Amino acid sequence: MTVATQPQANPLLKAWQTPFETPPFAEIKPEHFLPAFEQAFADHAAEIAAIEHDPAAPDFANTITALERSGKLLSRVAGVFYDLVGAHSNPALLEIDKEVSLRMARHWNPIMMNAVLFGRIALLRDVSASLGLTGEEKRLLERTYTRFHRAGAGLDEAAKMRMAEINERLAHLGTAFSHHLLGDEQDWFMELQETDLAGLPGSFVAAARAAASERGMAGKAIVTLSRSSVEPFLKSSTRRELREKVYKAFAARGDNGNANDNNETILEILKLREESAALLGFPTYAAYRLEDSMAKTPEAVRGLLERVWKPARARALRDRDDLQALVAEEGGNFALAPWDWRYYSEKLRQRRANFDDAAIKPYLSLDHMIEAAFDCATRLFGVTFSERRDVPVWHPDVRVWEVKDSAGRHQALFYGDYFARPSKRSGAWMTSLRDQQKLDGAVAPLVINVCNFSKGADGEPSLLSPDDARTLFHEFGHGLHGMLSDVTYPSLSGTSVFTDFVELPSQLYEHWQEQPQVLRQFARHYQTGEPLPDDLLKRFLAARKFNQGFATVEFVSSALIDLEFHTQPASAISNVRAFERQELEKIGMPAEISLRHRPTQFGHIFSGDHYAAGYYSYMWSEVMDADAFGAFEEAGNIFDPATAKRLHDDIYSSGGSRDPEDAYVAFRGREPEPDALLRRRGLLETPAAA
């Protein structure tokens, strides 16, 4: 072992002498991670062995609480590692990631399948009524039992051995999938010549020049495969052949027959998931995953998706005909294609609503939208934000704010990493370096939002599209779920809830971004400081439901494909592309619209299992979020204090400490009303007035 990796020299293994004991990123090198993980695995294994071999009779303190206290170093090291792998990777980290994913599976398998541990937990569950537990403790005991049971702790030894093999292989395949996707995204870009800029707004060109500079191509302009680059290009470029080239490259990620191809990876993942579900007694992987969710069954999920699919498809087909008519009106002698939809839809929106994204982007600067997100949180929950420049970060673009509660006490740190770069995987997400808990004194969370917005060039601010601004509020809603968490136990902290409930706090928060009083205050022209003109605001609000057929079809088709991948026999899926075509034909997918995530780039469901058979969750949560915002509308005040207090207490601060259905009913006073989703998207056909 070199001097650089000796424990005393490894910053991951030392006490952090930084503000709020945050990771000292400048000191942390790739070579520090494997030794740190080795130590963390060893520490955790020893802690688990002590619980397993405790001679005292099992009780809540020596079993459940002891489990909650275990693994602190592992959580700390893993938090830093996975933040860097997702947000600022390099070849050395990606190589380490391959080994860590395998080691992580090998570490957790014997813990989660430990018969003695499971026996102690099961015994406590059987006598839980006599233990005098609090509500949170009862919930923790039940969730701990469920986690071990669903991991295979009750299986015989042969089945456990096979389950461990499956878990290790799935860990490898999930890592490979995400690395392949990142590889395809990093390898491709399209340089724009001056003649290629026709139709592109100045803000896009500035971002394209900034993206080129990021890749060492100063003075040039490029389109990358980041969604924040692709979608505005498809909306604005008048060059149909370039739109086609960009669209096809975006759609082909992970499906190019090269070293980054994900087709075979998907087939193996599906076979192994099916086998793991069968070992646990479930007919399909979807049945296994959904048992531990609000939806409970594949049939319930399919029912929701099909209810939404029918009106969305009908709306999309009507819109398609209108777009084709617009092509013909302009003298175009071609059938509308997927790379045309956004372009002609934008034209139609300009005509019908007299609105286009380019008109509002100068008023949606990143800094102003961050201020808006913070201000809404202050008005709803009393928290305040002040920027800190003394907290170490992993990239110069990352910003940090200290969050204080309404009494001025430290509550959290919030890290914002907003700009696209080659070292970052695509998409937007919330994660944490440390979760809130009160098991051994108050532990304040370190919460992260990562986005992929285009950076403004030459000192100009980053200008957001309405979709970008909504994404910022969405991820900040997740962030608030982590920052406002007020539970005792780490396993129940923040976003540790069912997958089909976790999107409620984030999607609900999006509603405030599009409220007139918020936009009037924070949507200001980046050059003049002038507020958003009332006329433009009205046109923006009127245009919100435009193209919802397309957006809903794009999402629901992806959710249905996910469900079918995990309900149909894996042996019946021998070719991913053929399966995709077959399923799209079955549901009558309009040829002019593509999946939001084609299988080979569907990281939600294949780079790990968090959303596997669970992509529907966004829509399940949208039923709740559309209904939940109605509570503020009914109160006549989008910042109504009484409603906000219930929202804080029952949803944002309670983490996983209570059943999500109970939490929702406590907030709303009733179960969600499903048609709220269709109304929000403008897809509910209302009868004509008499």
- Is the residue at 685 inside a domain? no
318 near 352, Cβ under 8 Å? no
Give every CB contact of residue 648 below 8 A, 6+ residues apart in sequence: 380, 381, 484
Say if residues 420 and 454 touch (Cβ distance below 8 Å).
Answer: yes
Same domain assignment for residues 123 and 204: no
Q: Provide the pLDDT for residue 689.
A: 38
Say if residue 536 is in the same domain as residue 407.
yes
Asked if residue 21 belongs to a domain, the reply is yes
- What domain count does the chain have? 3
Asked if residue 35 and residue 121 are part of one domain, the reply reads yes
Over its C-alpha atoms, the chain yields an Rg (Å, rounded) of: 25
Residue length of the chain:
690
Judged against a pLDDT cut of 50, whether residue 646 lies above it is answered with yes
Rounded to whole angstroms, how far apart are CA atoms 318 and 316?
A: 5
The distance of Cα 352 from the centroid of its chain, to the nearest Å, equals 33
Q: Write down the catalytic residue from 47, 137, 475, 564.
A: 475
Same domain, 380 and 521: yes
Residue type, 569: P
How far, in Å, CA of 15 to CA of 260, rounded? 39
d(CA 262, CA 640): 49
Distance separating alpha carbons of residues 566 and 571, to the nearest angstrom: 12
Q: Tell me: do 515 and 402 sit in the same domain.
A: yes
Same domain, 140 and 200: no
Q: Is residue 125 located within the same domain as residue 205?
A: no
pLDDT at 300: 96
For residue 410, what is the DSSP state?
A: E
Residue 14 in any domain: the answer is yes
- Where among 544, 561, 578 does a domain terminate? 544
As a whole number, mean pLDDT of residues 424-431 equals: 94
Letter string b/e over residues 594-606, b meaning 16 or more CB atoms within 10 A of that residue's CB: bbbbbbbbbbbbb
Give the residue-averaged pLDDT of 148-152: 97
11 shares its domain with 148: yes
**CA trace torsion 185, 417, 476, 139 (10° rounding):** 80
In DSSP terms, which residues pair with 412 in a beta bridge? 403
Helices (H) and strands (E) in the chain, counts: 27, 7
Using alpha carbons, list the distances in angstroms from residue 140 to 76, 136, 143. Answer: 22, 6, 5
Per-residue pLDDT at 458 exceeds 90: no
Q: Is residue 561 part of a domain?
A: no
Asked if 443 and 437 count as a contact pair (C-beta separation under 8 A), the reply is yes
CA distances from residue 269 to 167, 214, 274, 467 in whole angstroms, order as listed: 10, 35, 9, 32
Q: Which of 251, 267, 292 is the last residue of a domain?
A: 251
Report whether 380 contacts 644 (CB < 8 A). Answer: yes
- Let me know: does 72 contact 40? Beta carbons within 8 Å: no
Query: For position 5, what pLDDT does the model report?
Result: 46
- Burial class of residue 226 (count of CB atoms within 10 Å of its CB; 0-12, 13-18, 19+): buried
Per-residue model confidence (pLDDT) at position 685: 65
Q: pLDDT tens digits, residue range 459-517?
A: 889 999 999 999 999 999 999 999 999 999 999 999 999 999 999 999 999 999 999 99
Does the pLDDT value for residue 137 go beyond 60? yes
Q: What percent of the chain has pLDDT over 90?
A: 91
The verdict on 145 and 199 lying in the same domain is no
Query: Do 88 and 136 share a domain, yes or no?
Result: yes
pLDDT tens digits, residue range 569-601?
A: 999 999 999 999 999 999 999 999 999 999 999
> Residue 141, by phi and psi: left (phi above 0), alpha (psi -120 to 50) or beta?
alpha
pLDDT at site 1: 38
Note down the domain range covering 246.
188-251
Asked if 137 and 70 sit in the same domain, the reply is yes
- What pLDDT was estimated at residue 8? 61
Asked if 447 and 483 touch (Cβ cutoff 8 Å), the reply is yes
Residue 382 to residue 359: CA distance in whole angstroms: 33
CA atoms within 13 A on the CB side of 602: 30
Per the domain annotation, does 473 fall within a domain? yes
SS3 197: coil
DSSP-derived 3-state class of residue 305: helix
Mean pLDDT of the chain: 95
Instruction: Kindly report the CATH number assigned to the domain that includes residue 444.
Output: 1.10.1370.40
| pLDDT at residue 164 greater than cutoff 80 | yes
Please name the amino acid found at residue 120.
R
Helix (H) or strand (E) holding 219: none
Does an H or E element contain 627, and which? helix 617-635
Q: Is 269 a member of any domain?
A: no
pLDDT for residue 674 is more than 70: yes
Question: Per the domain annotation, does 354 fall within a domain?
Answer: no
Work out the average pLDDT over 519-540.
Answer: 95
Given 544, 571, 593, the domain boundary residue is 544
pTM: 0.92
Is pLDDT above 90 for 355? Answer: no
In a domain, 80, yes or no: yes
- The question of whether 244 is a catalytic residue gets the answer no
